[in-house]
């Protein structure tokens, strides 16, 4: 995850292989839901990978979803 550019959109945390102004989203989307659960999904705002009780569990799952070597970020 360190090699990716983090950004937020629509209340979700996403990652990109490029920086602004043209983002190239890659990997999972993380959300904090109103029911105190944390979602991980392949698309924007859809927790199709899973819902988790803690942010740490959600991040651990998101890391496993990243393809090997998606970075480094480019301009």
Q: Which residues of 6-28 are buried (b: 16+ CB within 10 A; e: fewer)?
A: eeeeeebbbbbbeeeeeeebbbb
The answer as to whether 58 is a domain residue is: yes
pTM for this entry: 0.80
Q: What is the mean pLDDT of residues 65-69?
A: 70
CB 29 within 8 A of CB 36: no
| Domain, as residue range, for 29 | 5-65
CB atoms within 10 A of CB 57: 14
Q: How many structural domains are present in the chain?
A: 1
CB 66 within 8 A of CB 60: no
The answer as to whether 72 is a domain residue is: no
Over the stretch 15-47, which tens digit does the pLDDT of each residue have? 888 888 888 888 899 999 989 999 999 888 788
d(CA 47, CA 70): 21
Please give the pLDDT value at position 44: 80
């Amino acid at each position: 995850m360190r090699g990716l550019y983090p950004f937020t959109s629509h209340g979700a945390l996403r990652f990109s292989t490029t920086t602004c102004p043209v983002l190239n989203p890659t990997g999972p989307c993380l959300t904090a839901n109103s029911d105190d659960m944390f979602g991980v999904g392949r698309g924007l705002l859809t927790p199709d990978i899973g819902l988790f009780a803690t942010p740490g569990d959600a991040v651990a799952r998101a890391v496993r979803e990243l393809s090997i070597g998606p970075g480094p970020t480019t301009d």
